Structure 1
Amino acid sequence: MRHAGPLACALLLSAIASGMALDAGAAKKKAATKAPAATGANACSNFYAYANSGWLKSNSLPAGTASVSAMEQLGARARQQQLDLLNAAMTAPQGNVQKLLGDFWASGLDEAAVESDGANPIAPLLGRINAIKKANDIPASIAALHQVGIPVAFNFGADVDLNDLSRHIGYFSQGGLGLPDPAYYTRIDAETRKLLGLYNGYVQKILVLTGTPADKAAAEAQEVIDLETRIAQASKPLVDLRAPRANYAPVAVASLRKTYRGLQLAEFLKAQGVKDDSVSIANPALFAQLDQLVASLKPAQWKTYLRWRVGDAMAPYMAKPWRDASFDFRNRVLAGEPTPPPRQQAVLDAINLAAGPMLGHEYVARYLSAGTRARAEEIATNVRKALDDAIATDPRLGEQAKTEAKAKIAALKIEIGAPRRDLDYSVQPMGRGSFGSNMLIASTWHHREEMKRIGRGNADRRWDVLPQQPALAYDIAQNRLIVSAAVLQPPVLDLGTDMATQYGAFGALVGRELSHAVDGKGRLVDAKAEVRDWWTPAESGAWSALGNRIAAQYAAYPLPVVGTRINGNQVREVAIADQAGVELAWLAFNAAQPGASKESRQAFFTGWARLWPQQLTREAATQRAASGIYAPGQWRTNGPLSNLEGFGEAFGCRAGTAMQVKADQRTVLWPTALAGPPSTRK
């Protein structure tokens, strides 16, 4: 089912997946520590092509595939590891969590059992809905469906309290619609009217499957759309949901009982196990409308709507008529997907949705070794130290800002593999007979654990990524570096390579994320986790000037395949972070190995380059150029390195060549920290 998120906290999480994988041809790990032999490309003219010549030659783009990249290869590897884990748990589970996962997996793969199960998984939910007799029964049914992970009428979830980043509160937010945009219900253009017609047909199919007589399906579908239209009319446009502060409005829980008597929001919170003293309701007009609708609409209309929402949420996990109806509208019409994914992939996606932390718990135990974890923590700690040292030489910051930045870096936490705090895995036994029922069991558990995030002292309880997802991110709200278990694989971190390669790859990715603690977004949260801007206007102006220089640098780069140039302003934030990451990793590496050989220094830069190889069709390249915030792999490699004097020294590149910008034209964040020969840098 679809777990709806609460507040879209763009300010509060900067999570950029940075996982990449080596090409299959790199069989001898130690060979990766050496710079490749030149095959048509020169290190000083195009280091990306030089360092990745083997990968680019052996990874041509398959027919019908839009892109292939080292990042996508690592994602595929992590998915295969999850499949292997689940297969092992199905045949020989080790412990209670694996028993749950193995049964869940087996029930999903047993298509014959899924088909024979029919509507049985949701029969208890439909029975409760059908038992509604009066308006006072409706709120309790809404609360019960939220408990099993089916949000109806509205969304409710945990997110950071913008007035106190050390805690989470519950967010009541808009939702309850079958269409992704409230505007679809009120626009009158021909295209939208056509979409509504297709939607009406889909609603009818689901209602019939939930028990509506075929001759009453059209009328009941219209009742659903009428109720959803009323909700949509009181909902905010999607663009208005992008500003965190505009969607944060804390109110006392004690006031809810009086304000929303019909909707019974105080009782709703009790049913979810929430005992906090405040919640956020940023659109009280919507909840006033819902409160009024509970009393004014006939219970029969609410029953029809609730049956529809249950059927729609559970359709992808039930028998073929349900799946086909859901896929035809949600995937073909709305998402443009031509065919359903293979069964294994669909079941894996479902398990990650409903029981992702369970799978993550076992993934860490199986795939993250103690040695890899220790090395990751060692490098990350050294890069954090390099950032602390670099701040002292930052030409843009005054003394007060430097003091605040250093205090923030000192408080910054590093979490490797999985969240520090584990979850409660006590769950109702699943069994192998009903995949749909297992989805509800897992989703109920997931919702229970999510509700535990609400309240004081729980802000660091969870990550917003799963351990089995390749991710490396800075969490601005909790001032912590998040490194998932899945990202700690070659070429991000390969213990079979030398330390230089490890710093150039993993260390640089750590540096780019840690730089967010003190950049244009990090400036909005101070060392005490208070939301405030601790930069002066002059410091802000200096940062903008840096961004302009980076944007101009990238705007001069041609886009491969497309035939135009990069939109420098579009990629500037990522480009700044890349530059920062390479600089910090270079500083950390030279501090750790001040007497590194020329070959090791070359291997550092090769480690960075081998994160970014990719092949794209013209269509994919054009699409990414139009809206993407990432420069093509060639320029993510060459852009930062061309600014570093150390790169030119390592490969003997003369100033003014493509890979060695002249000294007076270089853009670096910490020129003082980078000054001097490698043997003397601290």
Structure 2
Amino acid sequence: MIRNSATVLLAIAMGVQGYAQQATLKGIESSDLDRKVQPCDNFYEFSNGAWRAANPIPASMDRWSRRWQAGEVNKDKLRIILDEIAAQPSQASGTPAQLTGDFYAACTNVKAIDDAGATPLKPYLARIDAIHDSKELQREMRDLQAIGVTVPFLFGSVQNVHEPNNIIAGVSASGLGLPDRDYYVKPEKRFADARAAYLVYIAKLFTLTGVSADKAQASAQTVMQIETALAKASLDNVALRDPHATDHIADLDALQKMTPHFDWTAFYQNVNVQPGVINIDQPVFMAEFDRQLASTSLADWKTYLRWQLLNSEADTLSQPFVDAHFGFYQKQLAGVGELKPRGTRCAEQTDQYLGEALGQEYVKRYFPPAAKQRAQDMVTNILSAMHDTIGGLDWMTPPTKQKALEKLASVNVKVGYPDKWKDYSSITITRSDYFADSIAGNRFQVADDRTLINKPVDRSRWGMTPPTSNAYYNPVLNEIVFPAGILQPPAFGVNAADAVNYGAIGVVIGHEISHGFDDQGSQFDATGKLENWWTPDDLAKFKTKTGCVVNQFNAFTIDGAPDIHINGNLVLGESIGDLAGLKIAYLAFKKTPQGQSNVKIDGFTPDQQFFIAWGQFRGDETRPETQKLMVQGDPHPVAKYRVLGPLSNFAPFAEAFSCKSGSAMTRSATDRCIVW
């Protein structure tokens, strides 16, 4: 993935131990630079403008950069693995090879899937048609939940934020087909257009099951009516970022009183979970669900359940269903022009359902021990830089610093892949029925999740699969996780220069560490408990600093729509993560041999290379439609502002490129946001 890079002879030039065995290290992508743009004017364009101009967004993608290209190359690697495994059909039952190979073979058998049409749905639709009373309606809701159709709430395991060593039951708002509540209630044209297109999509899926056009349109109106009522009772995306807003510990009696028309005793018996502590994330939503249960006709509820099943399973059915689903969610909402190749989509699905089975072969081939060790060393170095940063803060008092350092010292680090692989051997997967395989995968995931309820936390479990090109921080576990899939070029490479590794994956590592201290993470202590560990004065200072970030990002607008602004409150946590991640990764880089040297690569100093690496890693080109989706519901800013925002606040960047005061990439001391 990394091309046109200079040779760095650091071992010879500096005599540094550790570089002796890999004298030739790969640096930044100098050919990606748009040298017509000055780095102090627009670093997003300067750092990778030439690459984006030469590499337009593929028709099947909603955004594109070297990072996203690497993610798709990862899926090509999975396809290679799966093609090889699927070509050997006589594998022992229940083994990773049998499960992944047969699942992939069934998924790629387009003729069998298309020949089946809507037939796989018939037993499920017939069961819904047979509902005669509220008791049977509730039973069907339970049965649909078992195959991953969350109607209209989600029941699963959650960590108790007050006793973080314990897993409890959680009841969460769900059951909406549009991206979030605002799509149902806001009058702006983009929301109204989405509602209109959603009605067309609903009707289309109903007609594909043999329903007449008139009845399908009437059914669409029924679905929209129920979902709108539920949406109006739901929290918006900004409110959902407040952990206190979704913290409502209760027991079965309290839940039953909240929703008296739903039989929770029967529900618990059906899902084979003993009643205990429950968190109800949105009580207002659950009260509205109960009101709908009492007032909405049985016929309308059956229509709603049919729709939720159809929408949930559309991608596992014949091509007309797949095309309709894609046409709304990807083409209409995100602006994507065409479906990804079938093999790629099947690799994604195999990873989704059987990720740790597939991941075992992936890490054997693409994540050697040397890569894991270097990544772990980087995490250690960046954690150390965060320690130094907290210790050196002039605005935080010693009592709060002590708590912050205790939390930092307690961070659990996971790199590459789990120490203990998940056992999927209980799933029945065949080569002959992709729909049944998907249902089996859903059943396993739901049942596996429910087995955790009322038990101690299993800290060995992962929330992402090893091939995933992403990373995360979990505040209740106080852990940072970096799957092998993201520890690949251009983010990270065993043979990459420190500037590239620290400027790309290093900032990501710093970003995830910093999530423990953003506006959300800072509300959890070292054990993962939702508890304030700040003095009042320090917390007030912190909120002033985060308010600066909100105001800055509120001023950004998306491409081609100057009236649509980034929501600073929505992206606050991710933006704090970028600001702090950039700083601590840079401080860690300065302690490396290359960071302490003056050796130029392609005419750029080590510091300049570090910042270019970040601009090249994070510089996505994003479709306008996708930007609108992101502004509404994604806590991450549009990629351009993940480059321009943090760097314009960071004095070492201005120093590295000799940016003058008043330049677009240099904020004044009074306008600069510094949180950590």
Task: Name the TM tier (shorter chain).
Answer: 0.7 to 0.9
- Superimposed CA distance per residue, residues 390-424 of structure 1 (whole angstroms, 9 cap, x where no aligned partner): 32221121110111011111111111123555423
CA distance in 2, matches of 1:615, 1:420: 33
CA distance in 2, matches of 1:191, 1:546: 33
Higher mean displacement: 402-411 or 622-631 = 622-631
> How do 1:522-601 and structure 2 match up within 5 A?
522-543=521-542, 546=545, 576-591=576-591, 593=593, 596-599=596-599
Is residue 610 from structure 1 mapped to residue 640 from structure 2 by the alignment?
no
409 and 506 in structure 1: CA distance in 2 versus 1, 3 angstrom threshold: same
The answer to whether the Cα contact below 8 Å between 1:513 and 1:577 also exists between their aligned partners in 2 is yes
Structure 1 position 32 matched with structure 2 position 26 = yes
Pairing 1:80–2:76 present: yes
- The code of the aligned residue for 1:610 comes to A
- What residue is the counterpart of 1:138 in the other structure? 137
Structure 1 Cα separation of the partners of residues 327 and 39 of structure 2: 52
Identify the match of residue 652 of structure 2 among 628, 643, 652: 643
Could you tell me which amino acid in structure 1 is paired with residue 615 of structure 2?
Answer: W
2:451 maps to: 452
Deviations 1:620-645 (A, max 9, x none): 89979988455447636853664369
**Alpha-carbon contact 2:42-2:664 (below 8 Å) kept:** yes
Cα distance in 2 for partners of 1:329, 1:118 equals 20
Query: 1:572 and 1:309 mapped to 2: Cα distance?
Result: 33
Written as runs of structure 1 = structure 2, the 5 A alignment for 1:199-348 is: 203=202, 206-207=205-206, 210=209, 214=212, 218=214, 222=218, 225-226=221-222, 229-230=225-226, 232-233=228-229, 236-240=232-236, 242-243=239-240, 244-253=243-252, 263-275=262-274, 277-282=276-281, 287=286, 303-328=302-327, 337=336, 339-348=338-347
What is the aligned partner in structure 1 of residue 409 from structure 2?
Answer: 410
Within 5 A, what are the aligned runs for 1:466-545? 466-499=465-498, 501-543=500-542
Counterpart of 1:611, as a letter, is W
CA shift for structure 1 position 82: 2.5
- Percent identical across equivalent pairs? 23
The residue that corresponds to 1:104 in the other structure is: 103
Letter in 2 for 1:90: A
Measure, in 1, the Cα distance between the counterparts of 2:390 and 2:541: 14
Residue 18 of structure 2 corresponds to which residue in structure 1?
none
Of 53, 59, 71, which residue of structure 1 is paired with 2:67? 71
Q: Is the 8 A contact 1:642 1:660 kept in 2?
A: no
Structure 2: how far apart are the matches of 1:140 and 1:205?
A: 27
Work out whether residues 468 and 485 of structure 1, in 8 Å CA contact, stay in contact via their aligned partners in 2: yes
Query: Which SS does the other structure have where 2:477 is aligned?
Result: coil
Q: For the structure 1 residues 277 and 637, does the alpha-carbon distance in structure 2 shift closer, same or farther, using more than 3 Å as the test? A: closer
What CA distance in whole angstroms lies between the structure 2 residues aligned with 1:430 and 1:540?
Answer: 53
Shift of 1:301: 5.8
AA aligned opposite 1:32 = K
What stretches of structure 2 of length at least 5 have no aligned partner? 9-23
Which stretch shows the higher mean deviation, 100-109 or 514-523? Answer: 514-523
Cα displacement (A) at 1:145: 1.6
> Which residue does the alignment assign to 1:117?
116
Please give the secondary structure, in 2, of the residue aligned with 1:483.
Answer: strand
Give deviations 1:472-518, integer Å, cap 9, x for gaps. Answer: 33322211111121111123221113445433433333223223323
Kindly provide the amino acid, as one letter, of the partner of residue 402 in structure 2.
Answer: T
- Which range moved further: 595-604 or 379-388? 595-604
The change in CA–CA distance for 1:275 and 1:88 in structure 2 (over 3 A counts) is farther
C-alpha contact 1:386 1:588 (8 A) present in aligned 2: yes
- The more displaced of 120-129 and 73-82 is 120-129
Partner secondary structure for residue 492 of structure 1: coil
Native 8 Å contact 1:655 1:663 kept in 2: no
- State the Cα distance separating 1:372 from its structure 2 match: 0.9
* Cα drift, residue 433 of structure 1: 1.4
Over 3 Å counting, the alpha-carbon distance change for 1:333 and 1:59 in structure 2 is: closer
Distance in 2 separating the partners of 1:265 and 1:545? 45
* Alpha-carbon spacing, 1:174–1:436, altered in 2? closer, same or farther (3 Å): same
Give the direction of change, closer, same or farther, for the CA distance of 1:603–1:127 in structure 2 (3 Å limit): same
- Higher mean alpha-carbon deviation, 279-288 vs 33-42, is at 33-42
1:73–1:603 distance in 2 versus 1, CA, 3 Å: farther
Q: 25-34 vs 319-328, which deviates more? A: 25-34
TM-score (norm 1): 0.76
- The worse-fitting range, judged by mean Cα deviation, of 354-363 and 504-513 is 354-363
**Aligned partner of residue 643 in structure 1, secondary structure:** helix
**Structure of larger gyration radius:** 1
- What is the DSSP-based 3-state SS (H/G/I as helix, E as strand, rest coil) of the residue aligned with 2:504? helix
Distance in 1, Cα, partners of 2:65 & 2:403 = 39
Task: Supply the distance in 2 between the matched residues of 1:621 and 1:104 (Cα, whole angstroms).
Answer: 31
Residue-pair matches, total: 643
